[in-house]
Structure 1
Amino acid sequence: MARPEDTNQQADDALAADATPAAGSTSAADAASTAHSTPPADAAPAPDATPVARDTPAADDAPHPGDATTEAATRAWQGLHTLLLDRHNRRKEVADALGMSFSRIRALRRIAPGPLTLRELAARLASDPPYTTVIVDDLVRRGLAERLTHPVDRRAKLVRLTEAGHTAATRATAILATPPDALLALPTEDIEALDRVVTKLLK
C-alpha cells in the first residue's frame, strides 16, 4: 500500500511534468518573451537584490543564562546518587548486619513509633497488602513483631514490635544515619553548607 507521502510525491511529479513543455515545443509567445527579456550584451548587470547570507547564530543556539545552573544541579544530583547508592550503600550494610532484606528493615522502622494496621503499614511502605502480609509474617516468625487485636475494630489486626524488634530497628537507624568518613573529613564550613542545602531540599 502506498504511503501518503509517496502519493503526494507522485502528484507533485505529475504536476511538474504537466507544467514542463516538451523539448522543441517552445511557443511563439515564449520565444517573444525570451527575446524581450534578454538584455543586450553591453547592458550593465542588474544589481543583486538577494541578501548575502551571514553566519549569524539562531536565537535557539544562543546560550541561556540558566544552562550553567542546570548543568551544575545535574552534576550534584548524579553525584548524590553515586554517593548514596554506590559508594556508601547503607542499605546493603544494614541488611547484612541484621541478616534480612531491606524491605523488612523498612517495615521495622515504620512500625517502631507505634502499632499500625496492615493497611496503614502497606501505605507507608508503598506496597500492596498481600506483600505487606508476607513481610509481617516473616517479622513475627523472627520474633521481631507481633499481631494484636484492634481495640476498636475487632476485625482488624495491629502490628507492633517486640523488644527485640525495637532493638533491631534502633540498630538499623544508627547504621543508616552514620555519615561516611569522607563526609566527616570535610571542612566544617562545607558540612554546614551541605546541611543547609539538604534542609532546604527536604522542605
Structure 2
Amino acid sequence: MERPGDDATLETATRVWQGLNTLVADRHNRRKEVADALGMSFSRIRALRRIAPGPLTLRELAQRMSADPPYTTVIVDDLVKRGLAERVAHPVDRRSKLVRLTAEGKAAADRAIAILTVPPDDLLALPREDIEALDRVVSKLLG
C-alpha cells in the first residue's frame, strides 16, 4: 500500500481515519437500534439487506456477508422460520436453491435500511458547503 510522502499528511490522514471510525462505529452506530426495532441480531439484518435486491444462493449470500456457509445456513434457517425468507428452486441449477425474501422480509429489510441510512443530527447540522465537501471526499474514496 502506498503511503503519503510526508509525516504531516500521514498524521492528518490517521487523525481523519480515527475520527471517521469514532463517528461511525461509536457515536452513530445504529446496529443496536435496528436490531431492537426488528427483534433480531444484526447478522440476520445484514442477510435481509443482502437478499433484498433479489434472490441469492446460500453460497452467494455467504460471500456477500463474508461469512462461512454453515453460519449462513443457520441465519437463513432462522429467517425462514420467522417468515421473512423462503428457499425456492433455482431456475437453471436444479441442485441449488435460492433464498428470497417474503413480503414481510422485504418490509423488514426496507425498515432496516431506513433506520441505517438516516444521517445523524451532527451531520445535518453542518453547513451545506461542508456536507457537499464531505460528499465529494467520500465519493472519491469510494471511487
TM-score (norm 2): 0.94
Write the deviation string for residues 86-135 of structure 1: whole angstroms up to 9, x where unpaired.
11111121111111111101100110111111111111111111110000
Where in structure 1 do 4 or more consecutive aligned residues deviate above 4 Å? none
* 1:129-144 correspondence runs (5 A): 129-144=69-84
2:29 paired with 1:86 = no
Q: In structure 2, which of residues 37, 62, 67 is the aligned counterpart of residue 97 of structure 1? A: 37
Q: Which residue of 2 aligns with 1:116?
A: 56
Does the alignment pair 1:190 with 2:124? no
CA RMSD of superposed structures (Å):
0.9
Match of 2:109 among 169, 190, 198: 169
Q: Could you list the runs of 5+ residues in structure 2 that have no partner in the other structure?
A: none
User: Which is greater in Rg?
Assistant: 1
1 CA distance for matches of 2:61 and 2:50?
7
2:93 corresponds in structure 1 to: 153
Residue ranges of structure 1 left out of the alignment (5+ in a row): 1-64
Work out the percentage of aligned pairs sharing the same amino acid.
80
* Residue from 127, 139, 142 that aligns with 1:199: 139
User: Structure 2: how far apart are the matches of 1:80 and 1:99?
Assistant: 28
Shift of 1:67: 1.1
Q: CA offsets, 1:161-196, max 9 Å, x none?
A: 000000010111111110000110001111110110
Which of 71, 80, 91 pairs up with 2:11? 71
Look up the equivalent residue of 2:98 and give its one-letter code: L
Task: Report deviation, 1:150.
Answer: 1.2
More helix per residue: 2
Structure number with the bigger relative contact order (C-alpha 8 A, sep ≥ 6) is 2
Task: Give the TM-score normalised by structure 1.
Answer: 0.67
